[in-house]
Amino acid sequence: MDSIHHLKELQNIDDNLSEIRSFLGDLPVKVEELKSREAMLIGELEKGRDRLKHIEVEINKIEVEIIAAREKIDSLKDQLFKVGNNRQYDALMAEIDHLKESVDQKETKDIELMEEKSQLKAKVKLQEDSLDELTSDLSARINKLESTMAESGDRKKELEKERNNRREEIPQSLLSRY
């Protein structure tokens, strides 16, 4: 009869522990999910920022190359007036045409990079806003979790200690069926 009484006490303790766990609910899981999502967003944000820096460097490089090519074209145009024969004139014109084509390609690439930069800036801005919102939500949930755990933590420890003590009082054969 004493064993049954101990089992009832153990069941009451387990019920109380279950209530504490349900009181916490899925908050610990949600906090971990939010932390994981925050880490993922931070990683994506860093990749976006790195890509923006790379694009800006590429744009600057292309713009310098375009300026240099245009200066070269102007220089070659000046030389056109100083040539002595058609062969030199044709060679200069071919070089000018080649440089103009190169400038056109670089300008196209420059425009593509500027469009990508614009889209990426918008994406990074959205990610920053999302990260700020997520961080705020995470902070609030962590505070709630900590306060909830603080409220129930001591009681949970007491119940677990009492549960372990009660388990020692119950024969192993009976406990294994519990």
pLDDT of residue 131: 93
How far is it, in rounded angstroms, from Cα 110 to Cα 70? Answer: 15
CB 11 within 8 A of CB 175: no
Neighbours of 170 (CB within 10 A): 19
The mean-pLDDT minimum among 60-64, 137-141, 150-154 falls in 150-154
Contacts of 119 (CB under 8 A, 6+ apart): none
CA separation, residue 29 to residues 3, 35, 37, 42, 146 (Å): 37, 10, 12, 20, 13
How far is it, in rounded angstroms, from Cα 78 to Cα 92? Answer: 10
- Residue 135 sits in a domain whose CATH number is 1.10.287.1490
Q: What tens digit of pLDDT does each residue of 155-167 get?
A: 777 777 877 777 7
**Number of domains the chain contains:** 1
Domain range for 119 is: 2-177
Q: Is the pTM of this model over 0.75?
A: no
Q: What tens digit of pLDDT does each residue of 86-144 get?
A: 999 999 999 999 999 999 999 999 999 999 999 999 999 999 999 999 999 889 888 88
Residue 178 pLDDT class (50, 70, 90 cuts): low
pLDDT of residue 171: 72
Tell me how long the chain is.
Answer: 178
Q: What tens digit of pLDDT does each residue of 30-56 get?
A: 888 888 999 999 999 999 999 999 999
pLDDT of residue 22: 75
User: Which of the 8 DSSP states describes residue 82?
Assistant: T
pLDDT of residue 175: 64
